[in-house]
Structure 1
Amino acid sequence: MPSPRPLPLRRRDLLVGGIAGLAVTAAAAESAWSIREAANGDAIPEPVRGVPIHMQIVAHPDDCLYFVNPRVARVLADGAGVCTVVLTAGEADGRNSWETAAPADFAGYAAARDNGLRRAYALMALGDADAPWDRYLAPLDSGQDVELCVLRDKPEVHVVFCSLWTNLGRITGEFTRLLALWEGRLDDSLVLPPTDSPLTAESTVDRATVQATLLELLERYEPAVVNTLDPDPDPVAGERLGAEQPGYSDHIDHTAAALFAWEAARAWGKAGAVEAWRGYYNRRWPGNLGEADLEPKGRALDVYSWNDGADCGLPSGCGDRLIAGPGAGTTYGHATHPRYTAAVAATEIDGLIRPVAVRDNTVQVLGDDGWEDLGGPDTLPSLDLAGTKLYAIAAEHTHDPATHVRDVHCYDLVSGQWQLLGNPAGTGAGARIVGQVAAADDGRTALACVRDLHGLAVRVRPEGGEWSEWTRLDGPAVHDAPAALALDGAFTIVAATPDNVAAWEGDGVAWVSRQLDLPGPDDLPFLPASAVTAAQVPDGRAVLASRVAGCSDVALHIGRGEEWTGVRVPLEGGVLAPALAIGPEGALAVVCDDGTGAPAVLVLELADLESAGTGGFGLLSRPWTRGDVTVVKRPAAAFGSDGALRLWAVAADGELWTAEAEPGGEPPAGWSPAV
């Protein structure tokens, strides 16, 4: 498809902002806030070049504020541009009120939600929710008209409203959700022009048009990072909550928007990083946001939901009254969880430590002459390394729900060969639960992935032998990616569960599962608020790392069997699970992100983790070293044989950056491009 050209359009300006202390009548307010014609002959403004652009593709106007933020606020503060594409009008029952007797106004409620999103972005970008926007009717080469909104005083900020009816079935009685359009059960979807929008025609679009629109926008904006909702939501554990779709803990429109987005991102194939953000499942996790992240997320949501008490004078309303606050709330707003964070790993190749990353949908290794594509299938942005093997997941986001593919593939760093290892559920709905994989190797190899609501599945390869079939390991539901270790001639797989940390231990044939009951705050079993990561200590013990529930602090546990001790290390903000590396002299490196999005690095001695004594959970206050970049994926860390610490992370420009500390030196603060 050719890149969209600047088109001569009729430009409309939205006059926003008020005059403090001036009392106006309702009629005067409506006039002051109306959309008026501007000069003819203006064209759609081009994206601002020279800064990385982050594109969010979501279903509803509040999705990026609930499920992607604080990431959006972080990259805006770092100087990036943003373009958020909202696929549906989000009109619900047409009432911007909890009063069921209020008259339905679908176009008016859609406009109120759009107003709220623009005001929230203006607040995040400029600190002024009432900063003015310019709005354009943008006919695309795909054949679809969209509304393009540009923040006048910060033109790096764009919002695109596609405004498809969310649920026309409220009127027609038919199933007209976005998922029906994706799966082919609905031939086309009707556009709902919001009140006072440049969109005026009640046109229709089919699936191919929506796909072409997203691809055209990707080609136009050339984003360094693409953020989507979750195409593979977790199955429901327990009672269905709120607006969850049957069987899965997310809104049905979130899933459909994510499937459209991932198909477009894969077809375009040029994003430095792609991330899926979990939706309603956040309410089933403990909160993982500290005040450094809750505050900006909550302020943006207060503006979006009109809880800031603004007297904007917009006839359709200044925001979405149906959002419960204050701030981020206590359900799915109290957490932010990216789905695929481990897109970078480090391994030794020919005596040198090299980073391996998922770039442009493929697995690549950074060598002396730049990036080298390792071949193999297109993969999700998730990797794990064990021994000389690399594990990745290939996905087919199909329109037929019975043919979804999420297969594990193994790459041998020695032979250069790929091997298909499949999926414990085969294809279809069950295959979508696999998540991220974990592997451990001591000559033998154990590979683990999430199975369903009741534990894990593993494949085991004996030394010099062939892989076994997938084996089901019963146990509790798993929140996030497991971690695997080879300890004392046996395998240990650990994972966060809804109320504990679970472990599966075995020799590759016989397995047992148990709750670890790690020491936690207030003498209670530790409850992680992130994936649990792990590293093996030379003396046979293990170090486990995660985020502490209800805040963003980092928890570190060391031990084996039934004996563990832990410490809590305060950290202001961050949403990524910590990465770990253990050096040849027993140094422990811990790397994650903080509330600004910067890499936060801590180097400890293993003895520091034992300060609370066996069974204790103490406080370890140590200063973190903050890097000078914003990261969007979990960093990778490795010690060289000389004790030098090497770090890699995907930054806000979508490229890999690196930092290094001399043996025994302080953690690095200065980062530079890896290429």
Structure 2
Amino acid sequence: MSLASRTRLAALLAALTAAAGVAGVTTWAHGHAAAPAPAAAQAPQRPSVTQGTVVQFVAHPDDDLFFMNPDLSRSISTGVKVTTVYLTAGESDGRNEAHSPHLQDPARPADHAAYAEARQNGIRAAYAEMATGRRTSAWQRTSVPTTGGGSAEVDVLLARPEVNLVWMQMREARSISGDNPDSLRGLWDGKVPALGSQLASGTPVTTPFTYTRDQAVQAIANVLALYRPTTIRTQDPTPGRTRPAGAPADHQDHIYGARFVQAATERYAATTAAGPRPHFSVQNYVSYPNSSLPPTLDAKAAEEKLGYLKTYAWSDHQDWCGSPAGCGDRKTATRPTGAGWNQTIRYSRGESTTWLTQGPPGHLYAFAALDGQMAYWTRPRPDTPWQGPRFLPPTAPGTTIDAGASTARLPDGRIAVLATRTTLATTTPHDYRRETVYALQNAPGAGFGPWHTLGTPDTGDLSATSAIGTPTATTDPAGRITVYLRDSRRTLAAATQTAPGAGFGPWQSLGGTALQGDPATATDSAGRRHLYAATDRTVLAWTQPAPGAPLAGPFPTGLPATTGVLSATPEGDGVRLSFRTPGTGTVTTTRATATTAAPLLSPPATTGGEGGYGAVATTGHLLAGRAATGTAAITLPTPDTHTNTNTNTNTNTGTNTGTGTGTGPVWHESQMLYTGAPAAVTTPDGTNLAATLGLDADLHTTTPTPTPGPAGPAPTPWHRAVPPTALAQAARHPSTWHH
């Protein structure tokens, strides 16, 4: 062992000796012997890099590698603090065996504790390989108290102590959808008063324990209080059903584990005031439903992801770890690609690109769900600094605003912000539900009024079918708002105000089948509304044949399959539709023109570059999205790009006189990972601006600066919209920043 490693180990052991209870946990988390000193204030225009603290929660060992990578490996590579929390032991049937036409391990008696240990060994190997390039890198393992007499194992990677693993070791359901009371589902639904542990062999946790429902929530909240994340990653609590009245579309542990995390984040936010803790955002990931959806990753990213899965799966079957339980998960060795999961990463919420918008001319607003509430930043004029985050009126206790926000601008310049809100079943398990909500500005440029609910187009069995998407909205010339939503049956639903400023009428079905992602809408220069939604095979369209006419459709577009996330922006008498191509992640665009029937679409054309994944925001010639490396990237037009006068302000109206894109845009990557989707807007003076929410839960922006000469526009670095010094002042004077 090197001197540096011995020094780190000695410091960890000393800290562990002093640790007592949850409070003592802070002395060893991420390898710190004491709370870190506050970071020095940065210069306001310092280029953005990846910062923050990431904590991700999964039900089983391997859920992170299958469903959260490459976000996971990209985060580790930047050096930020990354912790993964495994809620269950993942003991399954207790058999660590590979059986396929090419692999036939000898059959052995079931041993749940040993299989749980083997999966732990595989996870430690994969994380060590992601962090150091060596699966054999050493870990310090210890037992720490949680709540109610329970304990968790915490592992710290000695060579990279900012990488931690937390093993809660609750019993798993041992069935994808079977009604087993001794499970997270049974505990959530009140079918058992407490759920027992399944301790892995070799774990430093020596005493079995049980958690009541409340204790399980509190134990997870304690982990959050310990690590103080700025980004929380978790699985999808509402994936819906495979068909009406069918089985859930995901593993029950994935679903109910995510619901426990939802409840814990709400408790953590409510009991720990902002200031002592940083703001945080939440990112949800799709799990099993990826099996039937197009791949989102390019071949290089998919192969890298597969390599870590093979390490976890102990594919070489060499006894490098010396554990009788095995050095990895041989079940996964049977098929380390899963059901094509190594080729895919997909977010279940937060993919809207309309969270950045303009109120009165030049007055910009950006919205994001932070701490389970809706936050926003403002820039009153181009020559004034950004301010924020401020917060809209809070939701009721026991509820939380979900990731993802969209906006609509009224003719008088007021902004409506829309989201979904989850009720967390604080009284009875069946109280759990999700609904569409909106809040409206009191006056142009002023604060926001209270939240109003539109309910949900779903009826019956709300606890199981609250799989509605993020709403998108538009306004007509009179100021009536129409909200569009993918419901839990994966069809399109709409609700419209009965009059400007009045309540909404009932939800109406607009048809469509197998919709993925959220609908995208824009209004062309003639005043005709367009709406597009992806399926697993193509894109469907709804359009107005004339301004003010009822929306007609769905029409087949003939477009190929996409990765499921669309963006739409006005372009003259049509709409520019942008999406990613499965298997490469390259951005493809087409121009749609409304007719009296199906819209006419131009031949799809790619924008070049190496691809990426996730949503793409567009305005004018500017595109913003996630590069193949996971970092924020923007396009800049080449010198011969034709002039584009699109004045899109994300108000669903605008014009564009451009007729082409020359040799195509050039992508420029940053050094910053981010969460959710990017957004982009064009101000009245023609300036394009892109924005993202960093892993630090801060707003970051960039404005490509035009430069004369053949080089064309220069890439301007991303930077924090609100400098750290201003954030510190806001923390000292919260009344200045919060409504």
Instruction: Give the TM-score band, short-chain normalised.
Output: 0.7 to 0.9
Residues 191 and 249 (structure 1), Cα distance of their counterparts in 2 relative to 1, 3 Å cut: same
| Aligned position for 1:348 | 358
In 1: Cα distance, 2:115 partner to 2:663 partner: 50
- Aligned-partner residue type, residue 556 of structure 2: Q
Pair 1:69 & 2:69 matched: yes
Deviations 1:49-104 (A, max 9, x none): 46622101111011111111111111111111111110111111111113694211
CA contact (8 A) 2:298 2:585 kept: yes
CA contact (8 A) 1:592 1:601 kept: yes
Q: Which has the higher contact order (CA 8 A, sep 6+)?
A: 2
In 2: Cα distance, 1:54 partner to 1:73 partner: 12
What displacement does 1:601 show? 0.7
Pair 1:393 & 2:420 matched: yes
Which structure 2 residues correspond to residues 594-605 of structure 1 after superposition, within 5 A?
A: 594-604=627-637
| Aligned position for 1:521 | none
What displacement does 1:167 show? 3.4
- Aligned-partner residue type, residue 433 of structure 1: A
What displacement does 1:568 show? 1.8
What displacement does 1:364 show? 2.2
| Aligned position for 1:46 | 29
| Aligned position for 1:563 | 601
Find the partner of 2:376 among 362, 365, 390. 365
Deviations 1:375-422 (A, max 9, x none): 152411211112232212111132645323322222223533343222
What displacement does 1:650 show? 1.1
| Aligned position for 2:346 | 337
- Aligned-partner residue type, residue 90 of structure 2: G
Pair 1:175 & 2:185 matched: no
| Aligned position for 1:417 | 449
Pair 1:288 & 2:288 matched: no
CA contact (8 A) 2:239 2:249 kept: yes
What displacement does 1:208 show? 1.5
CA contact (8 A) 1:592 1:634 kept: yes
Residues 76 and 191 (structure 1), Cα distance of their counterparts in 2 relative to 1, 3 Å cut: same
Ranges in structure 2 where 5+ consecutive residues have no aligned partner: 6-11, 20-24, 40-50, 100-104, 270-277, 379-385, 410-414, 594-598, 645-660, 723-739
Which structure 2 residues correspond to residues 410-489 of structure 1 after superposition, within 5 A?
A: 410-415=438-443, 416-418=448-450, 419-425=452-458, 428-429=462-463, 432-443=466-477, 444-453=480-489, 455-461=491-497, 464=500, 466=502, 467-487=504-524, 488-489=526-527
Query: What secondary structure does 2:188 align onto?
Result: helix
TM-score by length of 1: 0.84
CA contact (8 A) 2:351 2:614 kept: no
Find the partner of 1:554 among 587, 594, 599. 587
In 1: Cα distance, 2:282 partner to 2:405 partner: 14
Deviations 1:410-449 (A, max 9, x none): 2223533343222112572476121111112232432111
Deviations 1:21-42 (A, max 9, x none): xxxxxxxxxxxxxxxx989936
Deviations 1:349-384 (A, max 9, x none): 343223222222222222354322121524112111
Deviations 1:218-251 (A, max 9, x none): 011101110001001132159xxxxxx9522211
What displacement does 1:516 show? 1.0
TM-score by length of 2: 0.77
Query: What secondary structure does 1:627 align onto?
Result: strand
| Aligned position for 2:88 | 88
In 2: Cα distance, 1:55 partner to 1:619 partner: 44
What displacement does 1:217 show? 0.8
| Aligned position for 2:281 | 273
TM-align CA RMSD: 3.0
Residues 348 and 331 (structure 1), Cα distance of their counterparts in 2 relative to 1, 3 Å cut: same
Of the structure 1 ranges 567-576 and 208-217, higher mean CA displacement relative to structure 2 is found in 567-576
Residues 112 and 420 (structure 1), Cα distance of their counterparts in 2 relative to 1, 3 Å cut: same
Deviations 1:528-573 (A, max 9, x none): 0131111111x22111111101221111111221232211234435
What displacement does 1:490 show? 4.0
What displacement does 1:131 show? 0.2
Find the partner of 2:715 among 662, 668, 672. 668
Residues 271 and 321 (structure 1), Cα distance of their counterparts in 2 relative to 1, 3 Å cut: farther
- Aligned-partner residue type, residue 388 of structure 2: G
What displacement does 1:340 show? 1.9
Residues 630 and 231 (structure 1), Cα distance of their counterparts in 2 relative to 1, 3 Å cut: same
Find the partner of 1:379 among 375, 398, 401. 401
Query: What secondary structure does 1:391 align onto?
Result: strand
What displacement does 1:176 show? 1.5
In 1: Cα distance, 2:416 partner to 2:265 partner: 27
Query: Would you say how many aligned residue pairs link Structure 1 and Structure 2?
Result: 612
In 1: Cα distance, 2:575 partner to 2:56 partner: 38
| Aligned position for 2:649 | none
CA contact (8 A) 1:298 1:326 kept: no
| Aligned position for 1:637 | 680
Deviations 1:605-664 (A, max 9, x none): 5799xxxxxxxxx99764311123221221111111112121211112221111112357
What displacement does 1:459 show? 0.8
CA contact (8 A) 2:351 2:565 kept: no
Query: What secondary structure does 2:671 align onto?
Result: coil
Find the partner of 1:128 among 131, 134, 139. 134
Of the structure 1 ranges 653-662 and 401-410, higher mean CA displacement relative to structure 2 is found in 401-410
Query: What secondary structure does 1:578 align onto?
Result: strand
Of the structure 1 ranges 458-467 and 90-99, higher mean CA displacement relative to structure 2 is found in 458-467
Of the structure 1 ranges 223-232 and 446-455, higher mean CA displacement relative to structure 2 is found in 446-455
Deviations 1:111-135 (A, max 9, x none): 0001101111101111111100010
